[in-house]
Amino acid sequence: MTRRSETVVAIILCSLLASACGGGEKQHTDTTAIGAPPSSTPAATPGAAPAIVGKTWDVKMLGDATGYRFDPPMLTIKAGDGVRWTVVSGPPHNVTFWPDSIPPRAEATLRASMTQTIAPLTGPLLINPSLTYTVGFVGAPPGTYHYYCTPHLAVGMKGVIVVQ
């Protein structure tokens, strides 16, 4: 199977998964421009994920003729910061953390911060450009957090967050 046909199969499977899992949920959108400097995030509403107390950093989710990737692929943040992923091209995309590739005791922190998950440590499928997904690292233990895009893992769409 060629790389292109693997991608097409992955997209079809993810689309079917999204519709089977009640893909009618409203996705969160954000009007902050891609490439804008880190910003402060307002306090969360009751019952929501813990409020981000530091900066929110932007990561683009891209899929085009040069490949599928996160930009930047590696990001260093502080505990209390957040990361906002935005679909730019090549959807669907999502963010999934490997449970065995995050610091000990980090899973509970991520679960508390990740909303609309479709599986453990797996964010929702974002199927349109400009959709965003934000994860806070409030109370996150320092260390390296490896993540990937589920539909595009086979074509190497992976990223790393280092929490200081």
Which residues carry out catalysis?
93, 149, 152, 157
DSSP bridge pairs for 87: 61
Q: Where are the alpha helices (DSSP H) in the chain?
A: 3-20, 106-113
Structure tokens at 90: 């090549």
Q: Report the distance separating Cα 90 and Cα 74, nearest Å.
A: 20
